[in-house]
Structure 1
Amino acid sequence: MKVAIVGASGYAGGELVRLLYHHSSAEVVCATSRKLAGTPLDQIHPHLKGFTNLKFENLTPDAIDADVAFLAVPHTAAMSIAGKLLSRGIKVVDLSADYRLPKETFEKVYGVTHTDYFPAPYGIPELHRRECVNAKFVANPGCFPTGATLAAAPLAKYAHTVIFDSKTGVSGAGDNPSATTHYPNVGDNVNPYKWTSHRHLAEMKQELAKLGSPAKCYFTPHLVPVNRGILTTAHILLNQPMETKDVQKLYQDFYKDEFFVRYQMPMLAAVRGSNFCDLMVESEGLRVVAVSAIDNLVKGASGQAIQNMNIMCGFKETDGLVAAGMLP
């Protein structure tokens, strides 16, 4: 199967190439970048030297020849590409935010008019697998909502309030340097940002509602001095008290058939470079603390996108993704 990566110069694009190299049935045949056309991929992604001979190309959607395309482009860019690829019979997984939310919600949250909206399955496979089977298009979730939703999902319908507190690595900000990601501002430091207004909150609220939860939802992210990973602490306030042993059983039963969700002490190093989400829970009666750990570039982006592609195309869901984390 031929795969195109649209917007392959960033971290997510590099991860897609790295992971798909190990896929039994997929070959990356096209990697696009307007600014880097003609440049070998391994000059931008040096860890891929010896794994790809591709050069970046500047191609229009009409010139892309592939069976599946991943859109690793900035928000608002995918809406001008996705429909054109789909009209040519190319399956699409969009890693941007353009199709994760209903049109009205997207326009309110992102402050732009959506120019080519159509509904799409929201690609957390552990919750929406049936919607993704044989789909032509899937909206890949945001990194924060992935870890947060998986942490809260089993208890969502029993809660009246959910408060997410996330610690994220610097790669979540992308590969363009800024004052926020400048090393002296990040090293030996913890920085809260967008305390009450992060755009990913809309996805978290959406997913809790889909799970039948009436809970109010709040979210605050923090930037921490690591390259990869998101550790999310979910404070889940219940309508009725539950003991820890009962909550643990609920989570273990909920995820018992999910290869990529592991019930164990969540640590960033244990999931680094992998598609796993590790989580554990503890209850004090009316408040349950659920903690999850994911790699923001893999389960939070490219790995989950490949997981969705596998489901869409009828491949084994784990194909290309079976790798342990890189502890220590």
Structure 2
Amino acid sequence: MIKVGVIGATGYTGVELIRILARHPEVEIVGVTSNNYAGAEYSDLYPSLKGYFDLKCEELHTEELIKKSDVIFSALPNGHAHQLANEVVAKHKKLIDLSADFRFDDLSVYEKWYGPVPSLDDRIKRVYGLPEIHRLDLKGANVVGNPGCYPTSVILGLAPALRCGLIKPEGIIIDSKSGVSGAGHSPTLNNLYAECNESIKAYGVARHRHTPEIEQELSYLAGSDIKVTFTPHLVPMTRGILSTIYCDLKDGFTIQSVRETYREFYSKEFFVKVLGDGQYPRTKDTYGSNNCHIGLAYDEHTGKLIIISAIDNLVKGASGQAVQNMNSLFGLPEDTGLDFPAIYP
């Protein structure tokens, strides 16, 4: 059994981790921490887990938790995982971090968007944890930077088009929409019911922190520098991300050949589903699952390839992908504990 510790277990990504890990056949959860709810029984905080997970939340004593765990999941805000990684790696354990702290190859990019990085242990072998793209790199990693939710939807949507040279790399436009849970568990004015119900709004326009993460991975796929226009929107639903991506299709390709390329690219991927002609993703069809649905269309009037992808921001966009990464790190089939369909309706 893989012994797991979860730091920051009472936020939305934390509770989603516990929901998945509690029924994982190869996992024993040995400790969960929460600054706000130390001493509380977890299933009292989240009654949906009564009978599935009943440990008490602990205060964070890093050394003790690392000692009894094989892998630590950190669901803390940005800026907390660097020192934690040093401690985890020093004890020859593994860390899967759900913040942005280990997503960037160039630390100067992280510092520009998030803040300073302390000195890191030379033994850290980090990888950007999108298994469909970096599966081989995961095998030797001891620190995984779990991708952001928006980037997951965008990168999976564009990966075949860029890797296989189907589109022009310039002028990519990304319109993404997310449910309110993407903003986290802590209440803020903008997330109050009266503020976001019956409304939709753009935010982080021309300056969202997921932009450099998206560009890093798309550039890796394309083998050249990629810049994108990315605009996220908040919509009044609990879960889900829908990304609509507009790009210029190169001459010589048809929508049929594009769809065939996508199906071949993802033919061995359990969690990525390429939809048929005239079928387009809905967030409802990925709700509660680790799946990504991708739909394709060609606008003959403008010559644009339109790529639409849908994920659950808390599962494939966060906690489910983190468990998928854990499975890969420990040599398990990636769908272990994750092979369940979406909740419908």
Contact 1:190–1:223 (CA under 8 A) maintained in structure 2 = yes
1:17-74, Cα deviation, whole Å (9 max, x unpaired): 1101221111111001122111111122221111112111113221112011101110
The reply on whether 1:247 has 2:265 as its aligned counterpart is no
Alignment TM-score, normalising by the size of structure 1: 0.96
Q: Which amino acid aligns with 2:272?
A: V
* Corresponding residue of 2:217: 207
| Counterpart Cα distance in 2 of 1:125 and 1:109 | 25
Alignment TM-score, normalising by the size of structure 2: 0.92
Task: Pick from 127, 131, 145 the counterpart of residue 139 of structure 1.
Answer: 145
* Corresponding residue of 2:75: 72
The reply on whether 1:289 has 2:306 as its aligned counterpart is yes
Contact 1:99–1:119 (CA under 8 A) maintained in structure 2 = no
Contact 1:134–1:313 (CA under 8 A) maintained in structure 2 = no
1:261-283, Cα deviation, whole Å (9 max, x unpaired): 01123111111000000011112
* Corresponding residue of 2:336: 319
Q: Residue 242 of structure 1: SS of its match in structure 2?
A: coil
Runs of 4+ that moved beyond 6 A:
none
| Counterpart Cα distance in 1 of 2:128 and 2:192 | 33
1:80-132, Cα deviation, whole Å (9 max, x unpaired): 2121012112111110100101211000111x110144562101100000000
Q: Please, which moves more after superposition, 173-182 or 45-54? A: 45-54
Change (3 A) 1:324 1:257: same
Seq. identity, %: 41
Change (3 A) 1:241 1:214: farther
1:138-196, Cα deviation, whole Å (9 max, x unpaired): 11000000001101111124322211110100000001111111111111111110111
* Corresponding residue of 1:193: 203
The CA RMSD measured in Å over matched residues stands at: 1.3
Unmatched tracts of structure 1, length 5 or more? none
| Counterpart Cα distance in 1 of 2:311 and 2:326 | 19
1:229-261, Cα deviation, whole Å (9 max, x unpaired): 000001122443632111111111111110000
* Corresponding residue of 2:324: 307
5 Å matches for 1:50-89? 50-64=51-65, 65-89=68-92
Contact 2:125–2:141 (CA under 8 A) maintained in structure 1 = no
Count residues in correspondence.
327
* Corresponding residue of 2:108: 104
- 1:134 CA drift (Å): 4.0
* Corresponding residue of 2:154: 148
* Corresponding residue of 2:232: 221
Contact 1:161–1:238 (CA under 8 A) maintained in structure 2 = no
